[in-house]
Homo-oligomer: A and B are copies of this chain.
Amino acid sequence: MSVDNRGPVSFDLIEQNTDSHARAGVLHTPHGDVPTPVFCPVGTQATVKTLSPRDLEELGPRQILSNTYHLYLRPGAELIARMGGLHQFMRWNRAILTDSGGFQVFSLKALRKLDDDGVTFRSHIDGSEHRFTPEKVVEIQELLGSDIAMVLDECAEPHDYAYNVEATRRTHLWAERCLKAHTRPDQAMFGIVQGGIFPDLRAESARILMEMDFPGYAIGGLSVGESKRDMHRILDVLAPLLPQSKPRYLMGVGSPEDLVEGVWRGVDMFDCVLPTRLARNGTVLTPQGRLNLRNAANTEDPRPIVEGCGCYTCQNFTRAYLRHLLITKEILGLHLNTIHNIHFMLQMMRDIRQAILEHRFAAYREAFWADYRVVDERVRAENKAAYKQHRLAAGR
């Protein structure tokens, strides 16, 4: 399964802060090194929405995430394999992480049927029936050829204890089967800790998975409806339990504030559609919080989104122009906003890493919170739920 005794993907811890669980390291992958902590932009359907590979290269992410569920349905994993694999297909030569597809399938609620062996579901595109088993999602991810594959897991409703007992049991069974099925020597497979908002289930899940000795551990089932307080509580539980020498990946998270708080609690890897999705919605990120470019206040504003920002968008365009592009539904607006938001997240992570290395992350965190205004948590949850329905219906 591995090309040397460290495996195809390995992790070097470079700095462990003592005033928090924050860490800096390097993830070595078959497609280059990834300094951590790292934020991975999401390229759901073999493209980070609105960006070409050369736009991405300029922005400089070292790793992106693609979605197995979506690529399995369209264009199909076999086709991608025949075209030389996902890297070649989408012309991206840095690291790629794929999820297992489980999260999307479990989001299909009415369209899926679950048993211990796997999950049968209907495509959100054409209603056709499909089945994912642990072996199947390993096979698909091996066909895609990502650098890091994920085990099939069950993401349960986070507040339902009985359901989480059942879901973690199944998740551990499946993790074992995924490990057994995995053969590709140039791909690593990470385990996923589940257990909802329940510290005892989370600790047990971490313990069981650690016995299987994965090269990295993801924390799943967070940012799925629980409060920020609960999310932080679970991260606080896991930080001292997970092995220091392995990367920790908080799946599907997050916002700028989630990055700061996740890193503080020992997380090394993040992925989230937030910056790209917000961008297409006309919302851009600033050190003071989110800015909706559609607002009339921007109509004649000659300033860039963020003064001094080094991205192509801020170096060239006014808020007035960006607003005009949004109002007239011009694709260029979505593209320029996406460039800014991805740059913002990546630059933030570069700054965080530097702060960790220089033992001043606590000060960074304090300065961040002094400036950054968070969107009301309830408003955000509502938006997210509404968008999710819309997105599944539209196949995005």
Contacts and interface: CB of A to CB of B under 8 A. Distances in A.
Contact of A52 (B328, B336, B395): B336
Contacts of A89: 318, 320-321, 324
A13 B327 CA distance: 42
Interface string A68-81: 00100011000100
A237 interface: no
A82 interface: yes
A334 interface: yes
Contact of A316 (B53, B302, B335, B394): B53
A335 B52 contact: yes
Copies in the complex: 2
A332 interface: yes
Nearest to A318: B83
Interface in A32-80: 45-47, 49-54, 70, 74-75, 79
Nearest to A73: B328
Contacts of A395: 328-329
A202 to B, nearest CB: 36
Interface in A289-338: 299-300, 302, 312, 316-318, 320-321, 323-325, 327-332, 334-336
A384 interface: no
B83 A300 contact: yes
A316 B74 contact: no
A257 B75 CA distance: 35
A174 to B, nearest CB: 28
Nearest to A332: B47
A51 to B, nearest CB: 7
A90 interface: yes
A261 B334 CA distance: 38
Nearest to A336: B52
A195 to B, nearest CB: 34
Contacts of A83: 300, 302, 318, 320-321
A233 interface: no
Contacts of A321: 46, 83, 89-91
A316 B93 CA distance: 12
A280 B334 CA distance: 15
Contact of A331 (B49, B54, B325, B336): B49
A299 B79 contact: yes
B332 A50 contact: yes
A330 B82 contact: no
A320 B75 contact: yes
Interface string A203-245: 0000000000000000000000000000000000000000000
26 contacts: A46-B321, A47-B325, A47-B330, A49-B330, A49-B331, A50-B332, A50-B335, A51-B332, A52-B335, A52-B336, A74-B324, A74-B327, A74-B328, A75-B299, A75-B320, A75-B327, A79-B299, A79-B320, A82-B300, A83-B300, A83-B302, A83-B321, A89-B320, A91-B321, A328-B395, A331-B331
Given A70-B328, A82-B300, A83-B300, 12 more contacts: A45-B325, A49-B332, A51-B332, A52-B312, A52-B332, A53-B316, A74-B324, A75-B299, A83-B318, A89-B318, A91-B317, A329-B395
Interface of A: 45-47, 49-54, 70, 74-75, 79, 82-83, 89-91, 299-300, 302, 312, 316-318, 320-321, 323-325, 327-332, 334-336, 394-396
